[in-house]
Structure 1
Amino acid sequence: MKKNNIIFKSTVILSLLLGFSSCNVKEKKEQKEEISETKKEIPTDLKWSERMLLSEIHRFPEASKLDFVDKPRWSYTNGLVLSAAERVYKKYPKESFYNYIYNYADTMITEDGVIKTYDIEKQNLDMLKSGDVLLYLYPKTKEERFLLALQTLRSQIDTQPRTSDGGFWHKKRYTSQMWLDGLYMAEPFYAHYTQMFSEGKEAKEAFNDIVHQFDLIQKHTIDPETNLLYHGWDESKEQQWANKETGTSPNFWSRAMGWYGMAMVDVLDYLPETHPGRAKLIGYLNQYAEAIVSVQDSKTGLWYQVLDKGDEEGNYLEATGSSMFAYTFAKAANKGYVSSNYKTIAEKAYDGIINNFISVEENGVVNLNKCCAVAGLGGNPYRDGSYEYYINEKIRSNDPKGTGPFIMASLELDR
């Protein structure tokens, strides 16, 4: 009997302990679920600009590895996203945003002002874009190494190979070629640097040179029937992709025209009010805006990868170009460069981006989908600029060439 009592008591105690333990586990599980519901990685009640920047920081904790690379590098995509981050920080001054920008420069610029992975001998206009980061940081930090790096980048402009009428080659190896992309890579940096460091005759000549680049791209790449601009122009007409009479590439690529639109609205931030080139650039911008709207998809408000061939097989609505156009129109309208009607057009485009390209993960991380990963002209393997070439390039999510402009469009539209 005594033995049975002991067994009974032990069973009761064990049951109580197990019950208490399972309650504890259940309670902890419920608490964990409640915490995961209330504390997402990225809050969903923020503006889209903050949400996308936080998502980029989540994807790429080191800004030097933006664009899905394994090792730190100096590249235009870093400069693009960090220019967007600078604007987010100005509106929402969180220390983590500033640190993200600063850490890129801190990683990539040595104590002696040398830019890691940058090779001036390649004369690549793309490499000037990240100079915008240094133009932002130097006045704040006064770090000598940032100034030295800026001076190195500026010296590239002095030695950049040019066409016979003074247009910058896109890269040294792209002989005699101007690309729309290059206007965004070089001219905002060139104009901002000039505003910050030059004066008198030197500044006047530099601003004249900047406007001249836009004059030349208008002269050589515009299609007189549609006012759309071809991706590139080869002065020598020797490239396989070049029209033997005009030297232009054969198609209107969405992102190329996106780069060009952003180049115009951003250069106007630095071109003096009194400079005669301002009125000219604003004229180009209005002509451009009208042409871009003529090929906008009326249903979604978006744009196709190859702008004027939306009804052809294989073409698709593309996120990077659409984000660039939304930003360009919103900023141009906000600044008064174009009619206020373009703000409405930008809003429609932005709605199209949210409805067709944006997805949000359970942890709040925001994705921008349907981005063309990369496209160019020439090179090896050879890119012929054909319709088939553009529509068959890799498509991926969260390409910085889309996330950066999306952040900037979000800020301009205050969405």
Structure 2
Amino acid sequence: MNIISRKIKILTFTVLSSGLFLVSAQSKVTTKTETSKPQSGKIVPTNLNWSERMLLSEMHRFPEAWMLDFSKSPKWTYPSAIVLDGAEKLYAKTGKKEYYDYISGFGEKLINEDGTIQTYELEKYNIDMLNSGNVLLYLYEKEKKEKYLRALQTLRSQIDGQPRTKEGSFWHKKIYPYQVWLDGLYMGMPFYTHYTKDFTKGTDAQKAYDDIVFQFDSVQKNLLDKKTGLLYHAWDESKEQAWANKETGLSPNFWGRAMGWYGMAMVDVLDFLPKDHPGRTRIISYIKSYADAVIKVQNKKSGLWYQVLDKPLENGNYEEASASAMFVYTIIKSVNEGYLSQSYKAAAKKGYNGIIKNLITVDENGVVNLNKCCAVAGLGGKPYRDGSYEYYVNEKIRSNDGKGTGPFILASLEFEK
């Protein structure tokens, strides 16, 4: 890291991730200005922590944050928000303006001046669309722009209209009636909790917090496999889907990333749920049950987790990056926050080291890659996804998916504390 000290009225040349130069005049003495590009000429310095190395690599691959999901044009979707969660924490830690500018650029690009959200359609009631609201909560807190407040209010109104099961769990999407997916807890509940903390008061806040905790209670009741402690990818209350068990309504497999989403949902919601809310104790108990189950299916040799968690030896199964990063993040954050005892740290550390050894590659220019990420997996739709083992192991695999790089940055930050 280069430390530069300069006098009044100098020109500062900053190399942006796009390769262009930004020239600015300074009118005061500047000391300890950190530069991201070392004299060796590497795009990503190798002497930084893994968290920064991965974020800088993502910024190199995707010069604007809306590109993070391999998007060709600006689109309101959820993976960007996971990487930007890491960027927020790295900005707080390092003070490097390039990280803040990367986050801010996402809001500027996706939110119109009247507060409308580009490509977002409220009437679809897709719970995935709430996740990027976390970025707007951050930007509104920092910048107080009216357009972000209006966009946040629109997203919050989706929660009021989101269809629910008979007992009150959110459907994953309007086009997936009566279906509760583990993914949805991460997509919706941290946003719902954070928004409530920032904007809702009194009995309305209490009702919202109760509703949020209920979503986890309902999932534990309806999607948990009591034998293994793992949770199925989804549950169809109507039992009408071809993928649903006709007696239980459950999908047939334990998909790694679905479990990963659920773990991240629990630890992130606890950041905003009041300390005195009685539901905290229950969620923490769910985290312990979850961690115990996840550690049982961890590959004890590599430290990694499989695409289909409980079938490591079956043909086609593989150690998958996003689920592995999510489990590591959930466990190490839970240890750091006191939700789990220190004894759980060993499994998280083994998983983290396994990711670095087996799934990370570094290019000659210093750019870091995370390999073996499942691109996408779901249930139903067209063409129909049947939730079979063969379905999960044959979905596309790619490198540097935000659903993996984001959790890797977050896990790295927890280890760097």
> What TM-score does the superposition give when structure 2 sets the normalisation length?
0.90
One of 379, 382, 393 as aligned partner of 2:381: 379
Please give the per-residue CA displacement for 1:127-162, whole angstroms capped at 9, x wherever unaligned: 000000011111111100000000000000000000
Q: How many angstroms does 1:36 deviate by? A: 9.8
Q: CA deviation at 1:345?
A: 1.2
Distance 1:342 1:259 in 2: 19
Partner of 1:130: 132
Task: Give the Cα separation in 1 of the matches to 2:384 and 2:94.
Answer: 44
In structure 1, which of residues 221, 225, 239 is the aligned counterpart of residue 227 of structure 2? 225
Q: Which amino acid aligns with 2:284?
A: I
Q: CA deviation at 1:66?
A: 1.3
* Aligned partner (choices 258, 261, 276) of residue 259 of structure 1: 261
Say whether 1:75 aligns with 2:49.
no
Counterpart in the other structure of 2:144: 142
Equivalent of 1:65, from 64, 67, 90? 67
**1:405 is aligned to 2:407:** yes
How much does 1:91 deviate?
1.0
**For 1:280-295, what aligned pairs fall within 5 Å after superposition?**
280-295=282-297
The alpha-carbon deviation at position 37 of structure 1 amounts to 7.7
- Which residue identity does 2:329 align to in structure 1? Y
**Residue 170 of structure 2: aligned partner:** 168
Percent of aligned pairs sharing the same letter: 64
SS of corresponding position for 1:205? helix
Larger radius of gyration: 1
Report deviation, 1:93. Answer: 1.4
Partner of 2:107: 105
The structure 2 residue matched to 1:205, chosen from 204, 207, 218, is 207
Partner of 2:73, secondary structure, is coil
Distance in structure 1 (CA, Å) of the matches to 2:381 and 2:89? 35
Q: How does 1:310-349 map to 2 (within 5 A)?
A: 310-349=312-351
Q: What displacement does 1:38 show?
A: 1.1
- The corresponding residue for 1:47 is 49
Question: Aligned to 2:188, which of 186, 189, 193?
Answer: 186
Could you tell me which amino acid in structure 1 is paired with residue 87 of structure 2?
A: A
What's the CA shift for 1:81? 1.1
More helix by share: 1
- In the alignment, the residues of structure 1 paired with residue 192 and residue 277 of structure 2 have an alpha-carbon distance, to the nearest angstrom, of 15
Kindly indicate whether residue 367 of structure 2 is the aligned counterpart of residue 394 of structure 1. Answer: no
1:177-234 residue CA offsets vs partner (Å, 9 max, x unmatched) = 0000000000000000000011110000000000000011111111111110000000
Deviation digits for residues 294-332 of structure 1, max 9, x if unmatched?
A: 100000111010000001111111100000000000100
Distance 2:39 2:253 in 1: 48
User: 1:369 is matched with which residue?
Assistant: 371
Which AA in structure 2 matches 1:190? Answer: Y
Q: CA deviation at 1:88?
A: 1.2
Q: Give the alignment partner of residue 86 of structure 1, picking from 82, 85, 88.
A: 88
The letter for the 1-side match of 2:190 is: P
| Deviations, residues 9-44 of structure 1 (Å, cap 9, x unaligned) | xxxxxxxxxxxxxxxxxxxxxxxxxx9981211100
What is the CA–CA distance in structure 2 between the aligned matches of 1:130 and 1:111, rounded to whole Å? 18
Aligned residues: 381
| Alignment-mate amino acid for residue 285 of structure 1 | I
Task: Give the stretch that moved more between structures: 326-335 or 36-45.
Answer: 36-45
In structure 2, give the amino acid aligned to 1:183. L
Deviations 1:215-265 (Å, cap 9, x if unpaired)? Answer: 111111111111100000000000000000000000000000000000000
Task: Give the aligned residue type for 2:341.
Answer: S
Select the structure that is richer in strand: 2
CA RMSD of aligned residues (A): 1.1
2: CA distance between counterparts of 1:106 and 1:172?
Answer: 29
Counterpart contact for 2:329–2:408, Cα < 8 Å: yes
Q: Map of 1:243-282 to 2, 5 A cutoff?
A: 243-282=245-284
SS of 1:367's equivalent in the other structure is strand
- Secondary structure at the aligned position of 2:365 is classed as coil
Distance 2:38 2:337 in 1: 42
Gaps of 5+ in 2: 1-36
**Equivalent-residue separation in structure 1 for 2:131 and 2:364 (angstroms):** 34
Structure 1 gap ranges (5+): 1-34
User: Quick one: which amino acid aligns to residue 90 of structure 2?
Assistant: V
Moved runs in structure 1, 4+ residues, more than 6 A? none
* Further displaced range: 154-163 or 67-76: 67-76
User: Counterpart in 2 of 1:214?
Assistant: 216
1:21 alignment partner in structure 2: none
1:304 counterpart residue number: 306
1:152 corresponds to which residue? 154
